[in-house]
Structure 1
Amino acid sequence: MTPQIILYIIIGITIVSYLFSQLLDLLNLKFYRKDIPEEVRVFYDQEKYQRSIEYNRTQTRFSFLTSGISFAASLLMLSLGGFGWIDHLLRPFISNPTLLALSYFGIIFLASDLLTLPFQLYSTFVIEEKFGFNKTTIKIFFTDKLKGYILGALIGGALLSLLIFSVNQIGPTFWIWFGVIASSFVLFMNMFYTSLILPLFNKLTPLPEGELKKAIQQFTQKVKFPLDNIFVIDGSKRSKKANAFFSGIGKKKKIVLY
C-alpha cells in the first residue's frame, strides 16, 4: 500500500466521520419536540422546557459552525501536506526522536486549540450568558486553559514518550505492552480522578449531613451501588447548571455534585 493510498484512506475516514457526526446532530434537531413529553411534565413547565429546547438548538447549530471549521482545517492540512510541513520545519532543530514527536504533537494540539479559542469564548460568554448559565470570568477561563495545557503536556507527554519508547525498544509487539500501560493508566485515572485531578480545577467538600445525603445513600443502597463518599464541588463559579457524576472502581466509588 503506497503512502498516497494511505493518505486517501485517512481523508476518506475524516470525511465520513464528519458527515456522520453532522447527521446525528441534524437528527437530534429534527426530533426535538415542541410539547413536554408526558414522562417529564412533573419536573418541567412548558416555558422552561421551551427554553431548554431553544438552548440545545442554539448550541447544536453553533457546533455546526465550529466543527465545520475544524473539519475544513484538518482537510486542508491533510490535502496540502501541512502535517508533513510541520515535521520538516522541526527536524533541522531537533534530532532526538522523542523530543521531536513531543514538539510535533504539541504544536498541532496548540494550533488546534487556538483555532477554536474564539468559538470557545463565544460559547461561554455569549451563548451561555444569553441563557443565564454563565458565571465564568475571563480570569477563570484562561486559568483553566493554562492548567489544562500544563496537565496535557505532563500526562500526554508521558504517554507519548512511553509509546515512542515501546516502538523503538520492543518492536512489532509494542502495541501489546503499550496497550497494557494505557489500560492501567485509564484504570488509575478512574480510581483517583476526584482526588488528584479535580482539585486542580475545583474545591471539593464533603456533602453535609441532611435530607439530600440521606436520600442519595438510601438510593445507592437500594441499587447496590458501592458508595464511598459524596462530594460537592464549587462548579457554581463557572456555571449555574446543576449536574453530577461518579468515579472510582470497586468499593471506592464517589459521587460528585455541582
Structure 2
Amino acid sequence: MVKAQFVWGILLGAVLILSALYLLFLFLPAPVPALVGQYFSPAELERARRYQQTVRLLGLAAYLTKAGLLWWLWWSGQGASMARLVLKWSGHRYCLALALFFGGIWLLLRLAELPFTFSSGFVVQHRWGFSTQGLLSWWLDYLKGSGLDLLFSGIGTLLLFWSTARWPTGWWAAAGLFLAAWMVIETMLWPVFVAPLFNRFEPVADGPIKDMVVRLAGRAGMEVEEVLVMDASRRTTKANAYFAGLGGTKRIVLYDTLLKNYPPEEIEAVVAHEIAHWARGHIVRSLVWGIAGGFALFGALYAVLRISAPGEALRGGPYAPHILIIIWLFFHLLSFLALPVQNSLSRQLEREADRVALELTGNIPAMVQLHVDLARCNLQDVAPAPFVEWLTYSHPAPWRRIEAALKAW
C-alpha cells in the first residue's frame, strides 16, 4: 500500500506542479522577440493572448475536474460501491455489469466536463467572433462526437477487460497490439467514414489550385491521391488545412475559408507544407511513435496495477469493473504528463514540413506572410512563454516559424 501511495503521489504531484507552472506562465507576461514587432501590433498581441488564455484556462479546468472526480471515485471507495450495486442489478452477469458501469462512469465524466466544453467550444467562439454555428448545430455535433466516443471507448474497454481474463499477466501486450491495430485502422478509415459525419468534402475543381497541387507533388516526386475542400465556414471563420489517411485514403484537406480569404501564393505554401508531411512519411512515423507509446503505456499500467490493486492484477480471471476507474485515472494523468514528449515530436515534424515546403516553393515571403496571416486570423499567441510552448504546442510558435523562414532567405 505504501508503494501505491508513493507512485500515485508522484503522478498527482507532477500533474499539479505542471498545472501550477502552466497557469503561472500562461498569465505571466512573456518577453516578446524583436522580430514580432515587425509584423504584429501590441494590440493584436494582447487580443490574441487574452483569447488563448481564456480557451486554455477552460481546457485546464476541464482536465483537472475530470482528474478530481476520478481520484475521488477511487480513493473514497464510491467507485467500488457503485460497481457492487451494478453487479447486483445485473444479476452478477459480468459483461452486462461492466458495460453498465462503464456507461455510468463515462456519463459522469461527460457531465463534469460539459460546462467547460460548451463554454470553450460555443460561448467563447461566438464572443470572439469565430463561430458561425447555431446552438442546435453545436449540440448535434457534440452528440455525434459523444456517441462515437462512447462506442469506440466502450469497445476498447470490453476488449481490455477480456484480455485481463484471457492473459492474466500478459494482457498489457495484447492491449498494445489491439491499440496498434486500431490506430492503423482509424488512420485509414477516419477520413472516409467519420469526418464526413461532421463536414462536406468536395474535390478541388480543375483550375489553378489543382494545377498547383499537381506541380508541387511532381517536385516532391509523388502523387497526391486527393485534394479536398471542407466546408469549414459552416462552423468557423478560422482557416486551416491538414493531411490525413493512409494508403488509398490519403488526402489533403483545405478549409474553404483558406481558399476564400488567402492569396494563391499563401495557399501554395499551405499545400506544400501538407505535401511535405507525405513526402517525409510523417503519418507512418507518427503511427510508429504512437504504437511504441501504447505498449509503454499499457506496460506501465500493468506495473501500477500490481501495486495498487494486487488482488486483481495477480489473480486469474477478468478484473472487477471498478478497476476501470483506476485505469482511466492513470491514463488521464499520464496524458498530461506525456504532453511535452508528444508535442516535442510533433514540433519536430512540423519544422521539417516547413523546411521542405520552402524547398518546394522557393517562396520565402509567401511562407512568412502565411504564418503572419494565420496567426492574426486564428488569434494564435505569437510568442507564448517558452514553458507553455514546451508543454502544449504541437506546432512551433508562430514567431519561430517566421524566424526559420527568414533564415532560409
Q: TM-score range by the shorter chain?
A: 0.7 to 0.9
Identity of aligned residues (%): 23
Identify if the C-alpha distance between structure 1 residues 252 and 71 changes in structure 2 by more than 3 Å, giving closer, same or farther. Answer: closer
AA of the residue aligned to 2:82: I
1:254 deviates by: 0.9
Q: What runs of 5+ residues in structure 1 fail to find an aligned partner? A: none
The match for 1:120 among 117, 121, 134 is 117
Corresponding residue for residue 9 of structure 1: 7
Corresponding residue for residue 51 of structure 2: 55
1:218 deviates by: 3.6
Question: How far apart are the structure 2 equivalents of 1:226 and 1:81?
Answer: 57
AA of the residue aligned to 1:85: S
Corresponding residue for residue 224 of structure 2: 227
1:202 deviates by: 1.5
Equivalent position SS for 1:231: strand
1:64 deviates by: 4.3
Which structure shows the higher helix fraction? 2
Q: TM-score, normalised by structure 1?
A: 0.82
Question: How far apart are the structure 2 equivalents of 1:164 and 1:69?
Answer: 26
Identify if the C-alpha distance between structure 1 residues 216 and 20 changes in structure 2 by more than 3 Å, giving closer, same or farther. Answer: farther
Q: Confirm whether residue 257 of structure 1 aligns to residue 254 of structure 2.
A: yes
1:195 deviates by: 0.2
Identify if the C-alpha distance between structure 1 residues 250 and 29 changes in structure 2 by more than 3 Å, giving closer, same or farther. Answer: farther
Q: TM-score, normalised by structure 2?
A: 0.55
Corresponding residue for residue 70 of structure 2: 74
User: Mean alpha-carbon deviation: is it higher for 50-59 or for 68-77?
Assistant: 68-77
Alignment of 1:24-173 (within 5 A): 24=22, 26-30=24-28, 32=30, 37-38=35-36, 41=39, 47-94=43-90, 95-173=92-170
Question: How far apart are the structure 2 equivalents of 1:151 and 1:110?
Answer: 13
1:11 deviates by: 5.1
Question: How far apart are the structure 2 equivalents of 1:226 and 1:23?
Answer: 45
1:187 deviates by: 0.4
1:8 deviates by: 5.6
User: Mean alpha-carbon deviation: is it higher for 149-158 or for 131-140?
Assistant: 149-158
Equivalent position SS for 2:229: strand
1:104-131 CA deviation, whole Å, 9 max, x = no partner? Answer: 2221121111112122222233311121
Equivalent position SS for 1:227: coil
AA of the residue aligned to 1:187: V
Q: What runs of 5+ residues in structure 2 fail to find an aligned partner? A: 256-409
